[in-house]
Amino acid sequence: MNAPPLRIGIAGLGTVGRGTLQVLLANAELLTLRAGRELRPVAVSARTRDKDRGVSIANLRWHDDPLALARDPEVDVVVELIGGADGIARGVCEQALAAGKHVVTANKALLAHHGAALARAAEKAGRTLAFEAAVAGGIPIVKALREGLAANRIHQLYGILNGTCNYILTQMHREGREFAAVLKEAQDLGYAEADPSFDVDGVDAGHKLAILAATAFGGEVDFAAVSLEGIRHVSLADVRFAEELGYRIKLLGIARRTEGGIEQRVHPCMVPVAAPIATVDGVYNAVVVEGDAVGTTVFEGRGAGEGPTASAVVADLIDIARGRGLPAFGVPAARLEKLARAPLAKRRGPCYVRLMVVDRPGIFAAVAASLRDHEISMESVLQRGRAPGEVVPVVMTLHEAAEAALQRALAEIARHDGIVEPPRMIRIETFA
């Protein structure tokens, strides 16, 4: 092996940065064999220099300014692990590429908002933009889409892309606790941030879905096209009714080819208990990809954390060391299409609806009339308990219907006397 070392600069020494440095140092001999050359960390940048990170940085050049690291002439590849869609993280990537350096990033927000522009900059510089760690942690789903499944026209992909939400829904199912209590536990365990909005409102999963859709369908990353709905409104009652009906509730990201364009949406789904994705629990992620030649493939593993994400970062570094440079999103940046959008309003499918109603004559007839008027038919109805004059839950599953018609019907139902809170709707996905 006579190739010179690949000199690596790491911007950001948080959980993933520390983990990446640990993997590079602990597995140095093995990585040299697999990369064909030494993977040598030479420089780092972070907010605090003298922090005990459990890994020594004494022999590495220190940069107070991560932008200086991006321009360091003794660095071949910059690993951006700062985070954030703009600001310093974006500047590090742009300046590194402009300086003729490869870039590896785990920054899904940056890619969701600026992925196409960064891909063009990388190709103009003749360098690699790699981001396996940005989606699903240790699951090599980007490589699978870009390389292993390159022979396929992808019909759809869907999956559990946020471990925090999957943990919350799993604990609600297993332990019979409400959303707020499990969220607090997830925060105490470090699975959720103090402000959990990006996770529980679907934004994090939306960023990842936009990246996967671009890679699968050869288009520009279009986060604005992703319909987002989180899990705040999912109650323990919904979880229990789902069980009774033979479903599990999962927050899914779904990207699908339709006659009207590419559908991209993140929202809670009821999936049949027999579906493989229904059994993916805790902080695990899973992605299902359907291609015209390969059929259905399933990828499952840890979607976040120091080790799994560092594993993905180092895998990208090995590819760069080997000279395996590919277009960031599978096709040349100049050929990335602006994909036609298929809005959520165009979806057709079944769904679950829970109403909280005052138990008195005529209420259900009014609800049924609203559904009839919007050409929506009921498949089943559940009501637990009779308490005349009191509030009781009424649960319906509805046959396949147009999303727009369903939303109009639910808005009308919400205005009926006796409906005491907004109808709660969860889409049913069978993936048949």
Instruction: Give the CATH number of the domain where residue 87 resides.
Output: 3.40.50.720
Structure-token pair, residue 150: 């390159």
pTM above 0.75, yes or no: yes
CA distance 138 to 106: 11
Q: Is residue 322 part of a domain?
A: no
Q: Is residue 258 part of a domain?
A: yes
Q: Is residue 408 part of a domain?
A: yes
Which parts of the chain have pLDDT scores under 70?
A: 1, 385-387, 432
Specify whether 151 is located in the same domain as 130.
no
C-alpha distance across the termini of the chain, in Å: 51
Query: Which of 134, 165, 190 is the last residue in one of the domains?
Result: 134
Specify whether 116 is located in the same domain as 153.
no
pLDDT at 428: 97
The single residue listed with the structure tokens 């994705």 is 277
Specify whether 161 is located in the same domain as 124.
no
Q: Is residue 316 part of a domain?
A: no
Specify whether 252 is located in the same domain as 288.
yes
Q: Which residues are catalytic?
A: 208
Specify whether 376 is located in the same domain as 340.
no
Q: Which amino acid is at 181?
A: A
Is the CB of residue 427 less than 8 Å from the CB of residue 349?
A: yes
Specify whether 226 is located in the same domain as 90.
no
Per DSSP, the three-state class of 192 is coil
Query: Which of 105, 134, 163 is the last residue in one of the domains?
Result: 134
CATH of the domain at 214: 3.30.360.10
Instruction: Give the count of domains, the chain.
Output: 3
Write out pLDDT tens, residues 121-171. Answer: 999 999 999 999 999 988 999 999 999 999 999 999 999 999 999 999 999
Specify whether 273 is located in the same domain as 184.
yes
Question: Residues near 295 by Cβ (< 8 Å), separated by ≥ 6?
Answer: none
CATH of the domain at 378: 3.30.70.260
Range of the domain at 185: 147-302+336-344
Q: Is residue 187 part of a domain?
A: yes
Specify whether 130 is located in the same domain as 249.
no
Specify whether 101 is located in the same domain as 62.
yes
pLDDT at 286: 97
Specify whether 366 is located in the same domain as 271.
no
**What is the β-pairing status of strands 102-105 and 39-45?**
unpaired
Is the CB of residue 186 less than 8 Å from the CB of residue 192?
A: yes
Q: Is residue 298 part of a domain?
A: yes
Query: Which of 113, 134, 155 is the last residue in one of the domains?
Result: 134
CA distance 423 to 230: 16
Q: Which amino acid is at 424?
A: R
pLDDT at 266: 98
pLDDT at 193: 83
Kindly report the length of the chain. 432
Specify whether 357 is located in the same domain as 340.
no
Specify whether 259 is located in the same domain as 353.
no
Q: Is residue 308 part of a domain?
A: no
CA–CA–CA angle 223, 227, 231 (5° rounding): 115
Q: Is residue 218 part of a domain?
A: yes
